[in-house]
Chain A
Amino acid sequence: MRLGVRLWGRLGGAALSLVMVAVLGFFLFRVVPGDPVVSMTRGRPTTAAMQAELRTQFGLDRPLHEQFWNYLTSLLRGDLGTSFTFRRPVSEVILERLGPTLLLVGTSTVIAVGLGLWLGVRAAWRRDSAFDRAATGVSLTLWAVPTFWLGMLLMMATGDLFPSRGMRDTDTAPDFVSQALDVGHHLVLPSLTLVAVVCAEYMLVMRSSLLEEMHAPYLTTARAKGLRDDLVRRRHAVPNAVLPAITLVFLRFGLVVAGAITTETVFSWPGLGLLFYDALTGPDYFLLQGLLVVTAGAVVVMNLLAELLYGVLDPRVKVV
């Protein structure tokens, strides 16, 4: 009974956050001066009537409160308005770019999680060893590296080895294998960039999380039972220490999508991050607003998932 209440509380909190995101998204981009229609039509033979027509098409001629109401009601239908730049529903544009971002972020996350957690466990288990010092030092340095700069450096350093932009070549054979290989080839540098930065964070988190557990009495119990060192680590220390790290991974996944903005920009990877950057020139307010709502919404949902997952993984926490 109480547990159910708690679950509803979490869901309610998430829902409230989503509403706040939506409201923030609207007002953040509506309080600014400037007429997007003028920007759109600049440099073309345009009459005042044509501008008015565009304004009507985008619903910009209504009073603010009416726009807000329309925005909310259409949001409920999954309609995020129409992009100035693409002349298409924002939701459609975003959906189209979701795939590449998920591919990039997904690949990077999988690699970064695997590598980061493994490095973190090793470093913490042999605290202050040469390995620990090296791994921690490198991670701290990578953590300090601006993502975009790393991308630019990689691009300059690898020269002609990898394509400089995009997700695929236009002249690749249409069969699945060639296409997949082509995408993979394009994926190397951007995912490497993301992995380097994200992995460093996971490593540091896993390390400190395991260090917290290092002196836990139950590890002494396990040793006293006669368990081998690596079994003590694998069966006892890591399952406890990995919980906060896993939660972080979930939380970060949402944030990594946001963090992909610079990576995608540097490598022209056609995902949400690049879309975000494109929306900045203009700026395309409806698109920005849609992206803000979608990314923040995704993070809220991921957050909720992380909490629920934590409840499943950690028997001490009961959420469901």
Chain B
Amino acid sequence: MRVKLCALLAIAMTLGMATPSATAQGPVILKVAIVQQIDSMNPFLAVFQSSTEINRLMYDYLTAYAADDQRVTEGLANRWEPSPDKLTWTFTVPEGKKWSDGQLVTAHDVAFTYNLMLNDEVARTANGSFVTNFASVAAPDDRTVVIRTKAPQVTMLALDIPIVPRHVWEKVPSIKDYANDRMPVVGSGPFVLTDHVAGQFIKLKANKNYWRGPAKYDELHFVYFQNSDAAVQALTKGEIDLVNRMAPAQFDSLGDKPGVTRNKAQGRRFVELLINPGAQTRTGEPIGDGHAALKDVRVRRALAQAIDLDALVQRVSLGYAEKGAGLVPPVFGKWHWQPGEQELRKFDPAAANAALDAAGHPRKADGTRFGLRLVGRAGRAYDEQASEYLKRQLGDIGIPLDVRLVSDNQLNEATTVATYDLAFSGWATNVDPDFVLGLHTCAQRPGADGKGGTSDAYFCDATYDQLYARQLSEFDEGKRVEIVKQMQARFYDQVPAVVLAYENALEAYRSDRFARFTTQPAQGGVIMAQNGMWGYYGAEPAGRAAPPSSRGPALAIGGLVLLALVVVGVVVARRRKATAGERE
């Protein structure tokens, strides 16, 4: 009997706790789902996309990208001037911008940040690539920053480096061990970090000192979710206000939900299929065990021709993607390249078959030519599904695929040491295409020991490399765009990888609580994962009518169940007591 009472008590306590928490007239909060972990709040160390995005809210960069068309616009600096030899850049930090603790932002903060990275190897962990070409950084006065570079650098207005307050960071003894969690964290961005519980949530408050003016609501919470599935559910329940990175099916499921508005945006990401072109180290030693046939560009072209990109877009991405072409997604309109009529490889299995026959790979008696391995990431929906289609499409031209879906690490290992024939890959691109183009230069291949490579597809092409070098020092944007397009055309022609699709960024928000978000770019742009903080900063709350609490019924039902249990328990106990003497 005692045991039973204890059990009842335990249930009662559990249910009793399920009472609503009072949030009568609190602050206006934007709650955003994040799925990826935060590796660090220290902007010098944080390498995850999620961390970068939050750092962007905390710290302004020297320059920013406009919300509507992503052109370079005012960040901490409002003016910039290269010297005629393009080796010296002078930035001006205007007066009046303040840190969140009220101190003024000066050129010295900028110089401190950059010099820290130049002097401390650890500080270069996250963003070191931006300063490798820097010779020196100086702040002759409070307003002026002078950066000297070793060689002309075309990306000087795309330095995605959070500028930190010198008066806080000069006291930091070791960057490596600094978690940057002294709340509130002093910053210059539109929001101030106030609380962070790893694996649970991140809380930020609107920065009242923000130089563009404070955001239109009070707090911004990032709530950690295990997977986008849970996040979507929470959105429909009204537990959170904004979700991104939805799967197509999830996006579809929200179509008729009242109070929810969906945003189908052009994404910065593309997915590609790597075709091992005969991987080599920087010194030209063969590496890995890619299939020999793939060294032949005709074979690679034939493979690309046998892949039905439209089918992938329709069936795998359920239409929420655009057919792949060049390395730069269409969201960056001017850099994006589409093949012309005669360059275009249409889906044509017959032609692919013929090309393979011509390349000396006739079908054998069993109808196959040669088998290939396809490596993908297990648990990534796109890889799991697209591999089925590729298996069939390449099977149709006599190339059976051995699909191996592996862990992230194993996939990276396979692509790094080139133990693949075909592999899925994908990149998120920046406003400036330099990074994604640079992945395919010969210099990115690993050294003799097989280490130190960052090559994506083991592409090494003299023509491409020349073009790359030219665009790096081409300060006329129109001409640079031309070169970038030529590079993409070359890449497309040599097919070390087939860009399969530019996936849409699928987002949704509670329009009953937030009326409007600023997208980037203005047309078909994203709210989250921007090259900026506009989406969060520009959110406008709807009328203050809070949605009805969903906890009322829970409480009532819980109470009823509890009551019923107690009654039943008491009755049973009574009856048992009464008859206890007469049983054995």
Contact = CB atoms under 8 A, between A and B. Distances in A.
Interface residues of A, number: 82
Contacts of A178: 21-22
Given A173-B22, A182-B21, A283-B408, A164 B230 contact: yes
Nearest to B444: A48
B230 A283 contact: no
Most buried by B among A96, A170, A183: A170
B544 interface: no
B227 to A, nearest CB: 8
B129 interface: yes
Contact of B47 (A44, A187, A265): A44
A289 to B, nearest CB: 14
Interface string B398-429: 00000000011110110010000000000110
A184 B17 contact: yes
Contacts of B20: 181, 185
Nearest to B237: A160
Interface string B442-467: 00000100011110000000000000
A105 to B, nearest CB: 14
Contact of A171 (B29, B130, B225): B29
Interface stretch (B90-98, B325-333, B518-526, B576-584): B576-584
B234 A165 contact: yes
A283 B409 contact: yes
Contacts of A93: 198
A172 B21 contact: yes
Interface of A is mostly: helix
B571 interface: no
B427 A43 contact: yes
Interface string A174-206: 000011111111011001000000000000000
Interface of B is mostly: mixed
B553 interface: yes
Contacts of A185: 17-21, 551, 554
Interface in B512-565: 550-551, 553-554, 557
B301 interface: no
Contact of A164 (B23, B234, B584): B234
A41 B20 CA distance: 43
A166 B223 contact: yes
Given A39-B409, A41-B47, A283-B409, A85 B37 contact: yes
A170 B452 CA distance: 42
Interface string A284-313: 010000000000000000000000000000
A167 B198 contact: no
Interface in A15-73: 32-36, 38-54, 57
A45 B129 contact: yes
B124 A274 contact: no
B314 interface: no
A270 to B, nearest CB: 4
B132 interface: yes
Contacts of B31: 170-171
Contact of B3 (A86, A118, A163): A118
A10 interface: no
A9 interface: no
A49 B408 contact: no
B510 interface: no
A138 interface: no
B80 interface: no
B124 A85 contact: no
B408 A265 contact: no
Nearest to B436: A45
B142 interface: no
B454 A51 contact: yes
Most buried by B among A54, A96, A188, A268: A268
A91 interface: no
A33 B412 CA distance: 10
14 contacts: A35-B413, A52-B452, A86-B40, A86-B198, A160-B237, A171-B26, A178-B21, A179-B21, A181-B17, A188-B15, A268-B224, A277-B226, A281-B379, A282-B407
Interface of A: 32-36, 38-54, 57, 84-88, 93, 96-97, 107, 110-111, 114-115, 117-118, 121, 155, 160-173, 178-185, 187-188, 191, 223, 228-230, 265-266, 268, 270, 274-275, 277-278, 280-283, 285
